[in-house]
Structure 1
Amino acid sequence: PFRWQGTYAVRFAEGIHELMAETGVVIAVENMYPWRAYGREAKMYLPHWNPLPEPYEHVCWDFSHAAIARADSLAAVRELGPRLRHVHLTDGNDSGKDDHLVPGEGTQRVAETLRHLATEGLAGAVCVEVGTRGVEYAGQREEKLAVSLAFAREHLAAGGTDHHDDDGAPRPTTKETDRP
């Protein structure tokens, strides 16, 4: 939550825990990124944009957000261990812009991280989340999604996974962002 969201922001971690207990729904808190202006970080989130040191039982990892934060996704995923419940499969650069690039087109160690997850296991889902705004020709959106899905299948298969299609390939899900 943003700092200005008052009690909701102050009680966020506690509120997530209570909501999961009341509903039985697993809530994974997503990693975000610092907002920077004139070379300085603006403190926008409360308690923090980085969920690793926070008491969240479940976390969602987004590679594009990690790129902006200059975080090492492989190290973070290793540290999260079984707390990691969902992955937004994408990539990014430290441009300050939430690019949501096709995996492998940015600076994150996405392939290595997926292979780690394939070996260690993931009690959740891998969801392709690439930006498709501004495609230049008919079919480019589908191409980006197909390349992302193939990337996921290749690297998740490298270590084996329990989530497979009938043909034995891993089953990541897909999600487009910024679709007009």
Structure 2
Amino acid sequence: MDGIWRMAGETDVRFAVENMYPWRYRDREMLAYAPDWDVTKEDYRHFTIDLSHASTARTDALRMIDRMGDRLGHIHLADGKGSAKDEHLVPGRGDQPCAEVLAGLAARGFDGHVVIEVNTRRAMSAAEREADLAEALAFTRLHLSSSAIEVPRG
């Protein structure tokens, strides 16, 4: 952590530490990441939220993002269904609040990076892989656009 803070003071590059997840086998949990899979327990200058990792950790991604606050610098956009394995599904195909996260970022003028990080290994063809990636990109553009933000009418 000290090295990350030192490097952050030497450059404009954001060193954003990513949330992970506990490893599970049957009814046991193992700590595989040090000091913890929940990076918000530490004082990092910048964070990366990976929504698939949040799903695997079975943690509330919106609350984690709230804890990250203005130190959130990078998004790994993917979905998940809470499996013990990291899924990286196309956004909208799991139970993560992908649309809400993107709309919230747009509403607050997020200036970090959003990376679509989906697993396409199960695609049966190049066309299916391209269709999955196109769907992920369209989802991201739709929900990250300022026009997708609902403005309360008074």
Does structure 2 conserve the Cα–Cα contact (< 8 Å) formed by 1:102 and 1:130? Answer: yes
Q: Deviations over 1:99-135 (max 9, x none)?
A: 1000011111111111111111212111111101121
Q: How does 1:37-52 map to 2 (within 5 A)?
A: 37-52=25-40
Q: State the one-letter code of the partner of 2:76.
A: H
Q: Which residue of 1 aligns with 2:76?
A: 88
Q: Deviations over 1:154-175 (max 9, x none)?
A: 1111139xxxxxxxxxxxxxxx
Distance in 2, matches of 1:22 and 1:117, equals 27
TM-score of the two chains, using structure 1 as the length reference:
0.77
Q: Which residue of 1 aligns with 2:94?
A: 106
Q: State the one-letter code of the partner of 1:78.
A: D
Q: Which residue of 1 aligns with 2:108?
A: 120
Q: Which residue of 1 aligns with 2:149?
A: 159
Q: Quote the offset at 1:137 in angstroms.
A: 2.2
Q: Deviations over 1:2-59 (max 9, x none)?
A: xxxxxxxxxxx11211222234421000010111123121111111011112100100
Given candidates 15, 21, 29, the residue that maps to 1:27 is 15
Distance in 2, matches of 1:80 and 1:60, equals 9
TM-score of the two chains, using structure 2 as the length reference:
0.89
Instruction: List structure 1 runs of 4+ shifted beyond 6 angstroms.
Output: none
2:64 match: secondary structure: helix
The two structures, once aligned, show a CA RMSD in angstroms of 1.5
The reply to whether residue 140 of structure 1 matches residue 128 of structure 2 is yes
**5+ long unaligned stretches in structure 1:** 1-12, 161-180
Q: Which residue of 2 aligns with 1:8?
A: none
Say how many residue pairs are matched. 148
Distance in 2, matches of 1:118 and 1:148, equals 17
Q: State the one-letter code of the partner of 1:69.
A: A
Does structure 2 conserve the Cα–Cα contact (< 8 Å) formed by 1:82 and 1:123? Answer: no
Distance in 2, matches of 1:18 and 1:154, equals 38
| Identity across the alignment (%) | 49
Distance in 2, matches of 1:152 and 1:24, equals 26
